[in-house]
Amino acid sequence: GENVEQHPSTLSVQEGDSAVIKCTYSDSASNYFPWYKQELGKRPQLIIDIRSNVGEKKDQRIAVTLNKTAKHFSLHITETQPEDSAVYFCAAIERSNYQLIWGAGTKLIIKP
């Protein structure tokens, strides 16, 4: 079945710098890759997603890139701000039942 690995588990960056979180997946047939943000004590919320027919997608300070050959996708956050502090989860589709398999999460800390 699908396996999603997410790195790093914790990332600390200076405010204003960029942050990059990477996920690898095992099923080459997986075709949908969302990223969710979970603030402390809150519910996860979708921030961006990408499908396998595109290599990159941007939304203001957030971008996701997909490398199908290497089977990895990354979340890029530029000009980080204090409100970016949260846990970020990636996910990919499990081919057997078309359900999401999630990475373990990355805790992003923005230092003032």
Partner 1 sequence: NAGVTQTPKFQVLKTGQSMTLQCAQDMNHEYMSWYRQDPGMGLRLIHYSVGAGITDQGEVPNGYNVSRSTTEDFPLRLLSAAPSQTSVYFCASSNRGSQETQYFGPGTRLLVL
Q: Which residues would be at the binding site for partner 1 (CB under 8 A)?
A: 6, 9, 31-32, 34, 36, 42-46, 49, 89, 91, 93, 97-105
> Is beta strand 19-25 parallel, antiparallel or unpaired with respect to 72-77?
antiparallel
Residue with tokens 């989860």: 89
Residue 80 CB, nearest distance to partner 1 (Å)?
A: 22
When the beta carbons of 14 and 41 are compared against partner 1, the nearer one is: 41
User: With respect to partner 1, which residue has the nearer C-beta, 75 or 103?
Assistant: 103
Closest CB to partner 1 among residues 27, 102:
102
CA 52 to chain centre: 15
Using a 10 angstrom Cβ sphere, with 0-12 exposed, 13-18 middle and 19 or more buried, the burial of residue 35 is buried
